[in-house]
Amino acid sequence: MADLTQNPSRNWGTLLSALKTPWAAIVVILALVALLDPANLQGTISFAGAALLSTGRYILFAVFLLAYLKATGAEVLVAKAFEGRQTRMILFAALFGGLAPFCSCEVIPFIAGLLALGAPLPAVMAFWLSSPLIDPPTLLITAGALGWPFAIGKAVFAVGLGLFGGFLLRALMSGGAFQNPLKKEEKKSCGSCCSAPKMEGKPVWAFWKEAERRVKFRQEFGSNALFLLKWLALAYVLEALLVTYVPADVIATVVGGDGVLPIVTAAFVGMPAYLNSYVAPPLLAGLMEQGMSAGAAMSFMIAGSVSSIPAMAAVWSLVKPQVFATYLALGISGAILSGILFQLI
> Of 259 and 169, which is predicted with more confidence?
169
For residue range 209-249, list pLDDT tens digits in order: 999 999 999 998 998 888 878 888 887 888 888 778 877 67
Residue 148: what pLDDT? 92
For residue range 121-172, list pLDDT tens digits in order: 898 889 888 887 877 778 888 888 899 999 999 999 999 999 999 999 999 8
Mean pLDDT of 104-126: 73
Of 62-76, 153-167, 296-310, highest mean pLDDT? 153-167
Q: In whole angstroms, what is the distance from residue 263 CA to residue 296 CA?
A: 4
DSSP 205-267: S-GGGSHHHHHHHHHHHHHHHHHHHHHHHHHHHHHHHHHHHS-HHHHHHHH-SSSHHHHHHHH
The band of 341, judged by pLDDT with boundaries at 50, 70 and 90, is very high
Q: In whole angstroms, what is the distance from residue 17 CA to residue 175 CA?
A: 49
* 43: nearest Cα among 252, 144, 51: 51
Residue 200: what pLDDT? 62
Average pLDDT, the chain: 79
User: Distances from the Cα of 185 to the Cαs of 114, 182, 321, 344, in angstroms?
Assistant: 15, 8, 14, 45
Which residues have CB under 8 Å from 265's CB, separation 6+? Answer: 254, 255, 296
For residue range 70-100, list pLDDT tens digits in order: 888 876 776 677 777 888 889 988 888 766 6
Residue 218: what pLDDT? 94
Query: Is 0.85 topped by the overall pTM?
Result: no
